Chain A
Amino acid sequence: MNEHASSTAPPPARGVRTGPRAERLVIEGLRLSFGDNEVLKGVDLTIEPGEFFAFLGPSGSGKSTLLRAIAGFGPRPAGRILIGEEEVTAKPPWLRNVGMVFQSYALWPHMTVAKNVAFGLEERGVPKSEIAVRVRRALELVGLAEFADRRPSQLSGGQQQRVALARTLVVEPRVLLLDEPLSNLDANLRVQVRRELKQLQRRLGITTIFVTHDQEEANTTSDRMAVLEEGVIQQVGAPVELYDRPANLFVATFLGSANLIEGEVIADGGARLFSGRGGFRFPVADEEEEGRAHALFRPQTVHLGGPPGSAEEPGFFGFSGRVVRAEFLGMLVRYGIEVGGLELLVDEPHEPDRPILPEGSEVTGRIATRRIRILRA
């Protein structure tokens, strides 16, 4: 145990499980209540082997409750949770072999780093000699081999989190659960750690679920994600898919700034038109049903400028309005533009030679109608 890991790329971690044994996780009709308060209202989800999956939602949406239910914590849910072929719904947490990294890391302050990591192996009755080897490998995996004899309180937040990760991975769990793993880290560290987490997950190939309320974290790390709200999965898919084609207003607004125009889809001869507040009126796909609807488009899909009239090309909706607000955000300028009593958000990329339009300026702009999404709820 006296040789130290060199600073070059660490060798593949033997003793920590890798790819082939990754398990599929299936959740069927899961309902869970705290007393009279139903927190999960029928969740169905399949997470593929080796997938890096995110539960994204605001606080109180049920995402942490769902994660905890997978680990076996909290009230007993109705419905089924399957890991691989095995149903674990009724199993106590200590028999599930599901690894969870807690938001607070939950390192035991009365044990050294090595003791923390060894704990799960000791509970499993692994022989002492093997424990020493595996603990060392797990700590090497997270780059903390030389911190084995420290106490958790002597480590930085980022290091504590790595210990928590090593402690969980060393027992070779079937699924890895990460509860808001970046929330206790500094902003700078967060970006670095999320990259490392993703690399590690790719290397081990372990099925991983990551709970977060931060869409950027979910977007950057996950293969697919589920957006939760009020105990219901609103939409499942790859991050880019959810951003571009949100299934409903909640997903649309939760995943980033959006312009939402209230209105309705009406028949115009054989074709269909969207007609909304502020004079927004443009053709939509023929399949759209008549009735109340919202038109959604992202601030960056709107383009300012061009002479009046040029906006009236087919396939575009043009407008003119007045700048009421201009926020300089560095890489872009976010304008608030008043159009027919509505305020549109418009993002323009910022370049050094491009002046920021002053408040009160009259502007024109246009949106490609194919980039406008019609939402019903």
Chain B
Amino acid sequence: MNFSGRGQWGALGTGGFVLLVLLVFLVIPVAKVIYVAFQHPDTGAFTLVNFIDFFNTSLFRESFYNSLYVAAMSVVVASLIAIPLAYFTTRFRFGAAALIQTLGVIPLIMPPFVGAVAMQMIFGANGTINLLLDEYFGFTLPFMEGLNGVILVEAIHYFPFILINLSASLANIDRSVEESAQNLGSYGFRLFRRIVFPLAMPGYAAGAALVFLKVFDDLGTPLLLNVNNMLAPQAYLRISSIGITDPMGYVISVILVGFSLFSLWVSYFVTRGKDYASLEKGGGGLGKRELGPWGRLGAWAVVLLILLIVLSPHIGLLLLSFGTIWSFSVLPDAYTLEHYREVFSTAMPYITNTLIYAGLAALLDVVLATAIAYIVWRTGLPGRQILDYLGTAAVAVPGVVLGIGYLRVFHDFQVPLVDEPLASWWVIIVVALMIRRLPYALRACTAALQQVSVTLEEAALNLGAGRFRTVRRIVVPLMAGGIMAGFVTSFATAAVELSATIMLVAAESDAPVAYGIYVYMQTAAGRGPGAALGVLAVLLVGVATYFSHRFVERSREVAEADRRLAVAQGA
């Protein structure tokens, strides 16, 4: 479909505005950060001296290696968790399949830094597991020592990215592809290694790259576990203690962005031209195999163990939020509602702020995303793809980097009427959240739009509706499910964002829940209320995620019904 007349100008105006927003709040801040990293601190000339300084400082070198190590090991541990779960649930008739696929997503609804302290209580040197190990077997394991703790927390939090992507890939493997290998004499682990896993590789690589990227960029978890010799914490500490003129924060930012892009490129490279799912036609679809009695027992044992580990942050957080004192003991000494009372009496501003920030950010996200999706997929506007690229590119920008960029660029910009620098006005937090979560909303809205047949729009145009009326009366209502899902996903993940937020919160009264939890968790006495606030945050995100899922399901059903209708009509 091509625009003509008025519609073309409408699209141009909308597209131009969206482009402006993305330029001002994404491209310019990130470009500024990169620019400063290559700028001599005194003369302002182009230089590599900052990078040389960086690699000549042992702390930074160590931080660099630690970040790489933690990200790589998190991928390994997350894979160990995700691969068995994905394999058992997709390829076998297995009672727990639905349970696993549901429970497997639960870690994602808890921000990793929230679980970090709870994990200390369970896996730490004096935590539940080690106290029990010491009592019964006389040894302890350093689960949470230094980098181990970060790896464990991150792996448990992010493995669902691998689980979800890998499961989708595995589920797409035609039964006959596996059977033909069995027919030719292959079985068991060889079958998995030679046929099943290579075919699922694109999904695995996509998930693994995402885990690597997220862990490499994560600020909250190392901060809460007090592991500061990693890149993101170093960037934060340099900027917050020395100031926004210190070049090291910028150098680290460039490295963070570089590795984000690198892992996305690797994922793209590995998956390129390997859309195996579409090669098979006909055949039996997904065929699930039966497990023997021993196989079933073993599978259940593995799955339950993994689920227990995976749910331990939630269990720990619940115990912490209801416990009185929990120190050097397997479980808390006694239970109380006091922490929740404290949260409701003193921490309400955090919750109100969160609802406002995340709500506004998500609303702006779906408006932008719908506009971008429509312009990219339904108009002939030249250069329209740029909007899609920019909207998606935000995924490769770590929160720390965006935060530093905003501080640097908007510090000197006084907001009219408010008379405050934009960098410390609360609205900048909303903008940061909006930019960071735009990729999620964009993906949801694009998927929703692609489910709306162009013929439905053409029918409206044919009946005399103008372009704008068609979008408003036909396209947006049909996209409603996807838009809603995009809103809720953006909202839920924005509600617990910490890395950009922590840099942009100028006053405690402006702080959202994530920041509040971080502040509480800094002191031993604050752990209880912090955990209670964490539980509330998890509930908030959990409920939102549930609704998002429902919206997606419903819109998919509606789309499917529409498609059947179209087929029945011979469309």
Contacts and interface: CB of A to CB of B under 8 A. Distances in A.
Nearest to B185: A123
Contacts of B282: 103-104, 183-184
A106 B284 CA distance: 11
A102 B182 contact: no
Given A109-B276, A110-B274, A104 B185 contact: no
Contacts of A171: 184-185
A164 B177 CA distance: 11
B201 A110 contact: yes
Given A106-B176, A108-B195, A120 B184 contact: yes
Contacts of A124: 185
A109 B279 contact: yes
A93 interface: yes
B187 A106 contact: no
Given A109-B276, A152-B279, A94 B176 contact: no
Determine which residue in A71, A73, A75, A103 has the highest number of CB atoms from chain B within 10 A of its CB, and name it.
A73
Nearest to A157: B281
A119 B194 CA distance: 9
Most buried by B among A123, A124, A184: A123
Nearest to A119: B184
A298 B510 CA distance: 88
A119 B183 contact: no
A98 B183 CA distance: 7
A153 interface: yes
A168 B180 CA distance: 9
B295 interface: no
B564 interface: no
A171 B180 CA distance: 13
A106 B280 CA distance: 7
A92 B199 contact: no
A94 B186 contact: yes
A104 B183 contact: no
B380 to A, nearest CB: 31
Given A153-B279, A183-B282, A184-B281, A106 B177 contact: yes
Interface in B263-282: 274, 276, 279-282
A10 B411 CA distance: 80
Contacts of B176: 102-104, 106
Interface in B203-231: none
A228 to B, nearest CB: 18
A233 to B, nearest CB: 23
B187 A104 contact: no
Contacts of A73: 179, 182
B186 A123 contact: yes
Nearest to A164: B180
Interface in B55-75: none
A92 B283 CA distance: 21
Nearest to A103: B282
Contacts of B276: 109-110
Interface residues of B, number: 26
A22 B201 CA distance: 40
Looking at B177, B182, B187, B276, the one whose CB has the most chain A CB atoms below 10 A away is B182
B283 A104 contact: yes
B298 interface: no
A107 B280 CA distance: 8
A252 interface: no
Contacts of A231: none
B179 A93 contact: yes
Contacts of A224: none
A60 B183 CA distance: 23
Interface in A114-168: 119-120, 123-124, 152-153, 164, 167-168
A104 B186 contact: no
Contact of A94 (B177, B187, B195, B280): B187
B497 interface: no
Interface in A24-78: 71-73, 75
A97 B183 CA distance: 7
Interface string B158-198: 00000000000000001011011111111100100011001
A103 B174 CA distance: 11
A283 interface: no
Given A93-B179, A104-B280, A184-B282, A109 B199 contact: yes
Contacts of B280: 104, 106
Given A123-B190, A183-B282, A100 B201 contact: no
Contacts of B180: 100, 102, 106, 108, 164, 167
A171 B177 CA distance: 17
A196 B79 CA distance: 47
Interface in A306-331: none
Contacts of A93: 179, 182-183, 187
A99 interface: yes
Contacts of B274: 109-110
Could you say which of B180, B190, B198 has the most chain A C-beta atoms within 10 Å of its C-beta? B180
Residue of A98, A107, A108 most packed against chain B (CB within 10 A): A108
A72 B282 CA distance: 21
B283 A102 contact: yes
Contacts of B194: 119
Interface string B325-339: 000000000000000
A71 B183 contact: yes
B134 to A, nearest CB: 46
A123 B184 contact: yes
Given A73-B179, A93-B179, A123-B190, A106 B184 contact: no
Contact of A99 (B183, B195, B281): B183
Contacts of A100: 179-180, 183
Nearest to B287: A73
Interface in B20-49: none
Contacts of A94: 182-187
A160 to B, nearest CB: 9
Given A106-B280, A153-B279, A119 B181 contact: yes
B190 A108 contact: no
A100 to B, nearest CB: 5
Nearest to B177: A106
B424 to A, nearest CB: 53
Nearest to A125: B185
Nearest to B174: A104
B182 A92 contact: yes
Nearest to A97: B185
B283 A106 contact: yes
B275 to A, nearest CB: 9
A75 B288 CA distance: 11
Nearest to B184: A120
Nearest to B194: A119
A123 B195 CA distance: 12
Contacts of A106: 174, 176-177, 179-180, 280, 283
A92 B279 contact: no
A168 B185 CA distance: 11
A333 B273 CA distance: 51
A104 B276 CA distance: 13
B467 to A, nearest CB: 40
A109 B194 CA distance: 12
A102 B281 CA distance: 11
Given A100-B183, A103-B283, A108 B177 contact: yes
Given A152-B279, A184-B282, A102 B185 contact: no
Q: Which of B176, B183, B281 has the most CB of A within 10 A?
A: B183
16 contacts: A72-B182, A73-B182, A93-B187, A94-B182, A94-B186, A94-B187, A100-B183, A102-B179, A106-B174, A108-B181, A108-B198, A110-B201, A110-B276, A164-B180, A167-B180, A184-B282
Interface of A: 71-73, 75, 92-95, 97-100, 102-104, 106-110, 119-120, 123-124, 152-153, 164, 167-168, 171, 183-184
Given A106-B280, A108-B199, 5 more contacts: A93-B183, A100-B179, A104-B174, A106-B177, A119-B181
- Top 6 nearest A-B pairs by Cβ distance? A120-B184, A104-B283, A106-B176, A123-B185, A106-B180, A102-B176
